[in-house]
A and B are shown apart, each in its own frame.
Chain A
Amino acid sequence: MRAFDFAVPHDIDDALGLARDESAFLAGGTTLVDLMKLEVVSPEQVIDINRLPLHGIRPEPDGLRVGALERMEDVARHPAVAGPYPVIAQALLASASPQLRNMASIGGNLLQRTRCGYFRDVATPCNKRSPGTGCPAQHGDNRGHAILGTSASCAATHPSDLAVALVALEASVRLRGADGERTMPLADFYLPPGDTPHVENRLRPGELITEVIVPPLPWAGRSRYVKVRDRQSYEFALASAAVAVDLHDGEVRDARVAVGGVGTVPWRLPAVEDALRAGRSHEEAAALAAAGARPLAGNAFKVTLVQRAILRALTELAGPR
């Protein structure tokens, strides 16, 4: 870890005023401090945002609002989340460990960095960490890597479980920078790697995530997050599926499906949703999940696994079909 300046602003404008290009905001620190220790990131200034008023879990007419500094565990356990949006609560509770969830914030969760082993090891090249140095994962250790949205420059997965659930629910993020405030769908917020894997999202330097907004979806009470991994806990997803279904008399009338652990960004699957809406069988619908997949040597199994994860979620929500 390199030496850095440390600031603890008490209001949002102060925080935004302090921010420079080489600053990093500190929330729970479970990603930031980790990466600073590994020297994957070495900010000159760390701005602790924990005193900022970015709290609150409030159901409002236009949707559920969750402050960026709310902790993962608190959000998962909140009745305004667990009842109407089980998929969010399940995604959170399947993440990390209780200790980490008590520290880690919602804003930080959405901005966590990939778990690609090359990204995290500064002795190796990595386009995402050091643009232009190459992507050893293409021919190296890539069992955990993405099969969807990849490029020759990068095949790293976005690791957040929460983001997968939020994308399925068409959630938005509120951003605030020195130039003002904007809101954008989370699905648009994330950027696939293309030739610039170091640019992961549309957040501008010095901009804060202030809030997450989950629009109302009356049938989201029937939703499920299936996370598949080698061990039963404390591991990122090999594949995951966030699924909600609108079920009438055993028939799926509408559905939301997004998958994780397989995409370079949280991956919504409109084709699968359309197929379900059109009354196709679960198998037929799930078979569309990996369309366009580009597996690497070590992760071809994810093509099947992601379909199975969706099938498992659908079966648990709607019974076998």
Chain B
Amino acid sequence: MRSVNREDGPVKVTGAARYAADHHPEGLAYGYLITSTVARGTILGMDTAPAERAPGVIAVYTPFNPLRLHPYTQADTAELLPPLQDDRVCYYGQVIGLVVAETFEQARDAAALVTTRYDAERPRASFTAGLPNATPPSGGTPETDVLAPGVTSIDEALAASDVSITETYTTPAETHVAMEPHATVASWTGDRLTVHTASQGVRLPVERLTESLGIDAAQIHVINPYVGGGFGNKWGTWAHTPLTAAAARALGRPVKTVLTREQVFTVIGHRPITSQTVSLGAAADGTLVAVKNDGISSKSAANDFYESVADLSLALYGSANLHVSRKVVTMDVPATTIMRAPAESNGSFALESAMDELADALGMDPLDLRLKNDTPSHPVSGLPWSSKHLEECYRVGAERFGWSRRSPRPGTVTDGDWLVGLGMATATFGASRGEASIEVRLRDDGRAVVSGAAADLGTGQSTVFAILAAEVLGIPVDRVTPVLGDSATPPAAKAGGSGSTSANGPAVRLAAEAAKEAVVKLAAEHEKSPFRGEAVTYADGEVRGGGDAMPFGELLALLGVPEVEVTATSPRHPRREHAFRSFGAHFCEVRVNRWTGEPRVARWLCVVDAGTIVNVKTARSQIAGGVVMGIGQALLEDLRIEPDTGRFGNATMADYLVPVNTDIPPIDVEFLNYPDTVLSDLGARGIGELSIVGAAGAVANAVHNATGRRVRDLPITLDKLL
């Protein structure tokens, strides 16, 4: 497997990389958002006079003096309504105003002078209180059943199984806390708009701005080559983006709005709260015969996104009978949105915990139970998996981690004051290959430029572009310049659904192949070409023919052709004959202090079956990053909503805990690296989300093995282990 340094490493380490907020066009004014301090109600009035008189203030926009924005027409994972167009408040921390001033400080200070009067209503802010009134999702399928012939209900199948368990598992709201806060810089030249904005795919803000500003996509240029983490929160285009662009239009000068850390918590969406009641029924030998999961997700009144949290139970382990239901609790909270492995990461916490509990009930090793129920085809569709080596993940992992040293009796292994436990879980995430277009330009300086409107959120995607193009073109990786995050380039796959490399990788290869053909054709046909009329071939970056060879750059220089440009499109995979998923196995050791209950993760191994690994160096970081986030999900993260006010109780980075370095043990990552040739020639599936799935379950299982305590409500904090 290749291990290549990040192409963008040096600019990031030296600070030369310019993120959205680093742009300062001539004449820039600064926007500062005003946000609501009630969760539900009507704004009666806003006194903006003191702010308007404050030094440097250029404009104060509110629902009473709005910037006109057209309704959003396309579904998005962000909000349904553009900001400031009415006086309703749907959540605490909603954008209700924008102050624009000559400096950031002036805008911020003026914003603090605005006073708002509300007619506040009692918010629906308790998930627990809303559970009895949970409703089927509008537009979604409320239930899915797969029953064996002759079985009339899932409960019948459960009752008929030798051993069964039923438990309820819950997960709290979470937020992404990506390092880079959201920012938008908008400037107009005539009727053309240039936008620097943090995004997981530059075509997403183009769509939002097209509809909300009422202009053509062709008038909008979005540029965002560097993204300081996304995890889903830069997929949606949030309120500040159209607002900033509209302010820049109204004021005739560029405007920049950067969210404060605290604003990121509410202006941007969060991962929904979920509850899953899982029943598993098995034959005495461990064969699953019934899997039932009733999943409920919170959903913001401000948008329609919820997690179909139970659905993973339909896709992982084989069972003759399966049942899943979906419900939502609508709450007056900020937007619910996608966050790394939406639905699957929460879904797997419940499923993987339940599998451990079933193993306990069966008196079976939890690894053996999973081996027993590994399935060669999708449990619902029956389609064969395109490429699945999960069993090898389990076996390799067990060997490497020393799984055989796990004591089957919980609470029996100690090391000084620490109770020691081992846990494991399956990692998995859906895979696909979307359509992607890529442009390759071979230049007369011998370099290749590979462009597409993809995004590198820190994932290593731009390096993947360089590696794959270099390989096809037969040139060193550092002679390839990847260009991502520019809406003027062809529509490559955005960073979402772990689908960047699986879609863009084949497209880069196609485009590079096409570029080779184009330069060969040029060599054979151009009137000044020394290869004219020869049988021309291309190898190792050179054009060859008639016994001669010349690097493509030299040839182009000789011909006076500055560059050869081609665009190729790799189509979407229809997925009709196979099912596609990535798989893996997590193993971890957790220690719990016997006095004070702190759970600490001591060791981690993740064995990965995700198809071809293009760059093991950045792939390893992706997997490790998912594990880190999974440890946060398991032990720390909990965005607390105050039931009375709908305010987030800990919406600061001091109070919303994510792991720090000392919380993270050495993470061992092993890639099996079997190409998935059904999905594409490249054979790469996806690794962005895979490893957070199962991580929390593995921790919960290890905590149980260490202490004998089963914690079914995340996060597993020390107060639950005292």
Residues in chain A within 8 A of chain B (CB atoms):
1-2, 39, 115, 117, 120, 123-124, 136, 139-141, 143-144, 226, 228-235, 238-239, 301, 304-305, 308-309, 311-312, 315
Q: Nearest CB to that of B35 among chain A residues?
A: A123
Minimal beta-carbon separation of B665 from chain A (angstroms):
11
Bound complex: CA of A14 vs CA of B663, how far in Å?
47
Bound complex: CA of A239 vs CA of B661, how far in Å?
21
Bound complex: CA of A141 vs CA of B646, how far in Å?
11
Minimal beta-carbon separation of A289 from chain B (angstroms):
13
Bound complex: CA of A97 vs CA of B640, how far in Å?
25
Task: Tell which of B356-364, B502-510, B524-532, B593-601 binds the partner.
Answer: B593-601
Asked if B595 and A231 make an inter-chain contact with CB atoms under 8 angstroms apart, the answer reads: no
Asked if B644 and A228 make an inter-chain contact with CB atoms under 8 angstroms apart, the answer reads: no
Residues of A within 8 A of B718 (CB): 228, 230, 238, 301, 305
Bound complex: CA of A309 vs CA of B417, how far in Å?
13
Bound complex: CA of A1 vs CA of B717, how far in Å?
36
Bound complex: CA of A35 vs CA of B644, how far in Å?
26
Residues of B within 8 A of A230 (CB): 598, 635-636, 657, 717-718
Residues of A within 8 A of B635 (CB): 230-231
- The contact of B595 among A139, A144, A308, by CB within 8 Å, is A308
With A230-B718, A231-B636 known as contacts, the answer to whether A312 contacts B596 (CB < 8 A) is yes
Bound complex: CA of A235 vs CA of B660, how far in Å?
10
Residues of B within 8 A of A136 (CB): 645
Residues of B within 8 A of A228 (CB): 596, 598, 718
- Residue of B595, B640, B654 ringed by the most chain A CB atoms within 10 A: B595
Asked if B657 and A231 make an inter-chain contact with CB atoms under 8 angstroms apart, the answer reads: yes
Residues of A within 8 A of B636 (CB): 230-231
With A228-B718, A230-B636, A231-B636 known as contacts, the answer to whether A115 contacts B654 (CB < 8 A) is yes
With A120-B652, A141-B640, A230-B717 known as contacts, the answer to whether A2 contacts B109 (CB < 8 A) is yes
Whether B719 is near chain A, meaning CB under 8 Å from some CB there, is yes
Bound complex: CA of A225 vs CA of B412, how far in Å?
28
Residues of A within 8 A of B105 (CB): 1
Bound complex: CA of A226 vs CA of B655, how far in Å?
21
Q: Nearest CB to that of B640 among chain A residues?
A: A141
Q: Is the interface of A mostly helix, strand, loop or mixed?
A: loop
Bound complex: CA of A140 vs CA of B647, how far in Å?
10
Which residues, 147 to 206 on B, are CB-close (under 8 Å) to A?
none
Asked if A308 and B722 make an inter-chain contact with CB atoms under 8 angstroms apart, the answer reads: yes
Bound complex: CA of A313 vs CA of B662, how far in Å?
21
- The contact of B657 among A115, A139, A235, A304, by CB within 8 Å, is A235
Which residues, 510 to 539 on B, are CB-close (under 8 Å) to A?
none
Asked if A305 and B719 make an inter-chain contact with CB atoms under 8 angstroms apart, the answer reads: yes
Residues of A within 8 A of B600 (CB): 232
- The contact of A232 among B649, B660, B717, by CB within 8 Å, is B660
Which residues, 604 to 663 on B, are CB-close (under 8 Å) to A?
635-636, 640, 642, 644-645, 647, 649-650, 652, 654-655, 657, 659-663
Whether B112 is near chain A, meaning CB under 8 Å from some CB there, is yes
Q: Nearest CB to that of A300 among chain B residues?
A: B719
With A141-B649, A231-B660 known as contacts, the answer to whether A315 contacts B644 (CB < 8 A) is no
- The contact of B660 among A115, A120, A139, A233, by CB within 8 Å, is A233
- Residue of A231, A239, A309, A311 ringed by the most chain B CB atoms within 10 A: A231
Residues of B within 8 A of A141 (CB): 640, 642, 649-650
With A231-B660, A233-B661, A238-B718 known as contacts, the answer to whether A117 contacts B593 (CB < 8 A) is no
With A305-B722, A308-B597 known as contacts, the answer to whether A117 contacts B660 (CB < 8 A) is no
- The contact of B663 among A124, A143, A232, A312, by CB within 8 Å, is A232
9 contacts between A and B (CB under 8 A): A1-B105, A123-B37, A140-B649, A301-B722, A305-B597, A305-B718, A305-B722, A308-B595, A312-B417
Minimal beta-carbon separation of B640 from chain A (angstroms):
6
Residues of A within 8 A of B660 (CB): 231-234
With A139-B644, A140-B644, A141-B642 known, 18 other A-B pairs at CB within 8 A are A115-B654, A117-B649, A140-B645, A140-B649, A141-B649, A143-B640, A144-B655, A229-B598, A230-B717, A231-B635, A231-B659, A234-B660, A239-B596, A301-B719, A301-B722, A308-B596, A315-B417, A315-B595
Residues of A within 8 A of B652 (CB): 117, 120
Minimal beta-carbon separation of A183 from chain B (angstroms):
34
Residues of B within 8 A of A315 (CB): 417, 595
Which residues, 14 to 64 on B, are CB-close (under 8 Å) to A?
37
Minimal beta-carbon separation of A155 from chain B (angstroms):
14
- Residue of A123, A124, A139, A239 ringed by the most chain B CB atoms within 10 A: A123
Q: Nearest CB to that of B108 among chain A residues?
A: A1
Residues of B within 8 A of A139 (CB): 644
Minimal beta-carbon separation of A41 from chain B (angstroms):
14
Minimal beta-carbon separation of B666 from chain A (angstroms):
15
Bound complex: CA of A178 vs CA of B717, how far in Å?
49
Minimal beta-carbon separation of B591 from chain A (angstroms):
11
Residues of B within 8 A of A301 (CB): 718-719, 722
- Residue of A117, A229, A239 ringed by the most chain B CB atoms within 10 A: A117
Q: Nearest CB to that of A228 among chain B residues?
A: B596
- The contact of A312 among B112, B595, B655, by CB within 8 Å, is B595
Asked if A39 and B595 make an inter-chain contact with CB atoms under 8 angstroms apart, the answer reads: no
Bound complex: CA of A245 vs CA of B600, how far in Å?
28
Bound complex: CA of A141 vs CA of B593, how far in Å?
26
Q: B442-486 vs A: 1/0 string, CB under 8 Å?
A: 000000000000000000000000000000000000000000000
Asked if B596 and A305 make an inter-chain contact with CB atoms under 8 angstroms apart, the answer reads: yes
- The contact of B647 among A124, A231, A233, A311, by CB within 8 Å, is A124
Asked if A312 and B722 make an inter-chain contact with CB atoms under 8 angstroms apart, the answer reads: no
- Residue of B600, B636, B649, B717 ringed by the most chain A CB atoms within 10 A: B649
Q: B283-301 vs A: 1/0 string, CB under 8 Å?
A: 0000000000000000000
Bound complex: CA of A144 vs CA of B600, how far in Å?
20
Listed from nearest, the 6 A-B pairs whose CB atoms lie closest are: A141-B649, A301-B719, A312-B595, A232-B662, A233-B662, A123-B37
Bound complex: CA of A315 vs CA of B418, how far in Å?
13
Bound complex: CA of A115 vs CA of B642, how far in Å?
17
Bound complex: CA of A287 vs CA of B408, how far in Å?
34
Bound complex: CA of A235 vs CA of B657, how far in Å?
9
Minimal beta-carbon separation of A215 from chain B (angstroms):
30
- Residue of A141, A228, A233, A309 ringed by the most chain B CB atoms within 10 A: A141
Residues of B within 8 A of A231 (CB): 635-636, 657, 659-660, 662-663
Q: Nearest CB to that of B642 among chain A residues?
A: A140
- Residue of A124, A226, A232 ringed by the most chain B CB atoms within 10 A: A232
Residues of A within 8 A of B662 (CB): 231-233
Q: B59-91 vs A: 1/0 string, CB under 8 Å?
A: 000000000000000000000000000000000
Residues of A within 8 A of B645 (CB): 136, 140
Minimal beta-carbon separation of B401 from chain A (angstroms):
22
Residues of A within 8 A of B659 (CB): 231
Residues of B within 8 A of A115 (CB): 654-655
Residues of A within 8 A of B642 (CB): 140-141
Q: Nearest CB to that of A226 among chain B residues?
A: B596
Minimal beta-carbon separation of B656 from chain A (angstroms):
10
Minimal beta-carbon separation of A147 from chain B (angstroms):
13
Bound complex: CA of A140 vs CA of B112, how far in Å?
24
With A140-B642, A231-B636, A233-B660 known as contacts, the answer to whether A312 contacts B654 (CB < 8 A) is no
Asked if B722 and A117 make an inter-chain contact with CB atoms under 8 angstroms apart, the answer reads: no
Bound complex: CA of A111 vs CA of B670, how far in Å?
50
Q: Nearest CB to that of B598 among chain A residues?
A: A228
Bound complex: CA of A120 vs CA of B649, how far in Å?
11
Bound complex: CA of A152 vs CA of B395, how far in Å?
58
Minimal beta-carbon separation of B655 from chain A (angstroms):
6
Asked if A311 and B595 make an inter-chain contact with CB atoms under 8 angstroms apart, the answer reads: yes
Q: Nearest CB to that of B722 among chain A residues?
A: A304
Minimal beta-carbon separation of B270 from chain A (angstroms):
16
Minimal beta-carbon separation of A38 from chain B (angstroms):
9
Which residues, 568 to 603 on B, are CB-close (under 8 Å) to A?
593, 595-598, 600
Residues of B within 8 A of A140 (CB): 642, 644-645, 649
Bound complex: CA of A174 vs CA of B141, how far in Å?
70
